[in-house]
Amino acid sequence: MKPTKLALPLIGILALLHSSCGEPTGPGNQGNGRITLVNDPVELAASVTYYDDSIPIENSGVGYPAAGLSSASISRISQASAASLKLKLKAEVAPPSIGGQVLQATSVSIVGQRAVVSYNMVGNPYLGAVDVFDLSNTSQPALQSRALVQGTDVSAVFASGSNVFVAEATADTGFQSPAVFEVMQLVGNNLVLSGNRRRALSSFAGTATVAAGSKAYATSGDNGALFVVDPVSLTTIDSIGLHDARWVDVGGGKVVVVQGTPGQIAVFNETNLAPVGTWAFTGADIAESKSTVQVVGGKAFIAAGSGGVQVLSASTGLVVGSVPRPNPDSLGLTSSVVVTNAASVDGDLLFISNGEAGVYVAQGSQAFSASGSETPQTITMLGRLRFANLQSVNHVAYSSPYLIIAAGLGGLKIVRVN
C-alpha cells in the first residue's frame, strides 16, 4: 500500500508559491576561484548531527593520582564537584573536505552567540576552511556559513562585529612569505565575498589573531612578529619582532603574546605597545607546536605543551597557578601525543585540551576573574570528559554555556555546560 499523502489547504499552497517566488533570505552560495562560500542551510545541515547525550567526567585512570597531585595549586581529583557539573553533547560537525581531502579543525573562537572555527590540511597541499555557527538556539546550534579556501591553511580565527579575522599560511607566491592575515566579511552570520582582503605577515605561518577596540592583532611563527593592524585599511599600526610567537590575547589593558622554544610571555601596554615585561614559564619547548594564552582577571592562562597549564600574573610574571599535563605513561600513550595545546576559562571552570589524552576540566576555588592577578589560587582537577569517538584534540573554547572542541580530523563537538 502506498503511504497516504495529505492534501495541503489552498492557503498553504499559495504561501509556498509566494515563498518560492520571493527573494532568497540570505546571500546564497558564492565563489571566486580561491574561496567557495556555502550559505545554503540545507547543504550545511548535512554536516551536523544533533544529540542530547550526557557526557560523563572520568576521575580515575586519567593520568592523575586519585589524591594529592604534585602541583601545589592542584588539591585533588574531585568526585563530588564533577558530579555537580552536567554536560550534554548537543552536536557533532563533520570536518569539511576540498577535492576529497579532509581538513582538520585547528581553532575555535566564541564571541557572544557566534562561534567561528578554522581548519587546515595536514601536510600538503595548502587547504583551509572557516565555519560560522549561530549559538542562539541552545537546543540546536546551527552551522550558518562555511568558507572553503584553496591554497591556504587556516591556523586561527576571531570574529568581531561583521569581521572574521583569519591567521593563515598561503601558497600564493605573490606574497613575500607564506604568513598572511585576512579579513572575511559577514552579513548576519553568513560569510560574503564582498570586502574580503588580505595582507602579508612575516614568517611561514600566521599563528593567531584577536581584535580589541579599534585594532586587530596577529602573530606569526618562527622569526615572526606581533602585528597591530587597522582592521579597515589593513595598514600596520605597529609591529614587534618576536621569536616563535604562537598566540595573542588582549585583556585588562595588556596585550599578551605566548612564545615557544623557550616558553615565555611577552606583555605590552594595550594603548601604546610599550613593553611591560617578558617572563619565562615551564613548557612550550616543542618546536612548531601550538600554545594558546587567555587573559582573565589580570592573569595569563597558558597552554604550555609539556608544561601543562601555567597561570602567570600579566603584570609581574608571578606564577599563581598550574595544572600539570596528565601522565602519558599511565595512559599508555607517548609523550609526543599528550601535549597541552589549548586552555579556556570562564567563571570558575577551566577546560584543557591535551592532544590524544582528550579534554580535561578543572575548577578554581572562585571565579578566575575575581581572584586577583597576584594571588595564588587553588585549582581542583575534576577529571576527563568521556566521548565515544574523540580523536586528538587541537583546541577547546569555553564561553558559558558552550564548550566547543576541535578534534582534528574528527571535526567538532559542541557541548552545553550546566
6 Cβ contact list (under 8 Å, min separation 6):
none
Cβ-based neighbour number of residue 413 at 10 Å = 25
Residue 417 β-bridge partners: 87
**Contact predicate 361/351, CB 8 Å:** yes
Taking 3-state DSSP, the helix, strand and coil percentages for the chain, each rounded to the nearest 5, stand at 5, 50, 40
| pLDDT over 60 at 288, yes or no | yes
- What confidence score (pLDDT) does residue 81 get? 65
- Residues 356-398 have pLDDT tens digits of 999 999 999 899 999 889 998 889 999 999 998 788 899 999 9
What is the reported pLDDT for 67? 44
Q: Residue 59 to residues 62, 66, 81, 372, 386: CA-CA distances in angstroms?
A: 6, 8, 11, 29, 10
**304, exposed or middle or buried, with CB in 10 Å at 0-12, 13-18, 19+?**
buried
Is 0.75 topped by the overall pTM?
A: yes
Q: In angstroms, rounded to a whole number, what is the distance separating the alpha carbons of residues 121 and 328?
A: 26
pLDDT of residue 390: 80
What are the E-state strand segments in 68-189? 74-77, 87-93, 97-98, 101-102, 104-111, 114-120, 127-134, 142-150, 152-160, 163-170, 179-187
The pLDDT, as a whole number, for residue 158 is 97
Domain 28-417 fold: Methylamine Dehydrogenase; Chain H (2.130.10)
Nearest partner of 396 among 115, 3, 45, 51, judged by Cα: 115
| Spans of all domains in the chain | 28-417
Question: Rounded to whole angstroms, how far apart are CA atoms 362 and 75?
Answer: 11
> pLDDT digits over 21-44, tens only?
434 567 999 999 999 999 999 999
Judge residue 165's burial from the number of C-beta atoms within 10 Å of its C-beta, 0-12 exposed, 13-18 middle, 19 or more buried. buried
Question: Would the pLDDT of 74 be above 60?
Answer: no
pLDDT grade for 163, boundaries at 50, 70 and 90: very high
Q: What is the mean pLDDT of residues 216-242?
A: 96
pLDDT band at 8; cut points 50, 70, 90: very low
Confidence of residue 83 (pLDDT cuts 50, 70, 90): low
Given a cut of 80, is residue 75 above it in pLDDT?
A: no
- Of the two residues 160 and 17, the one the predictor is more confident about is 160
Average pLDDT, the chain: 90
- The span from the CA of 146 to the CA of 130, in Å, is 6
